[in-house]
Structure 1
Amino acid sequence: MTMHQFHAAQGAQVADDGIPTTYSDLLTEYRAAQTATVLLDRSHEGRIRVTGSHRADLLNRISTNELLKLA
């Protein structure tokens, strides 16, 4: 299931650029953020392509996570 399909299945209202703006009323979403779990799709914010033999080291250095341990 793609993120777009997931958002549609959850009844999201989607902006012209394809980004979900809301699923329900503001108070319900605020309560969910305070007491439960909220999923934010931020895939539209961009990506980078890293190449070269030292790419894993570079990503590990610029990330707050230890990416080399995730592999």
Structure 2
Amino acid sequence: MLLVQIVEQRQVLLLTGDRESLELLAEDLRSVGSMADGGHQHIEYYKDFGYLRKGSAPLVLNSPHGGMPWQ
């Protein structure tokens, strides 16, 4: 499982976890990065679901084309 922490003193996002969880996060990053018309994805801890460990900071991944699709 992946633990996402914000280290405010160093202004960094610290990711700690096994290879499988890091690869799942990488897949989500690629997916959001390839959204052609904008969009976003929330990544949060849920018991028995996902790859984040309890205590992880929630993430919102925004497409490089904007956070919401054009309508």
Q: TM-score, normalised by structure 1?
A: 0.24
Structure 1 or 2: larger strand share?
A: 2
Structure 1 or 2: larger helix share?
A: 1
Q: TM-score, normalised by structure 2?
A: 0.24
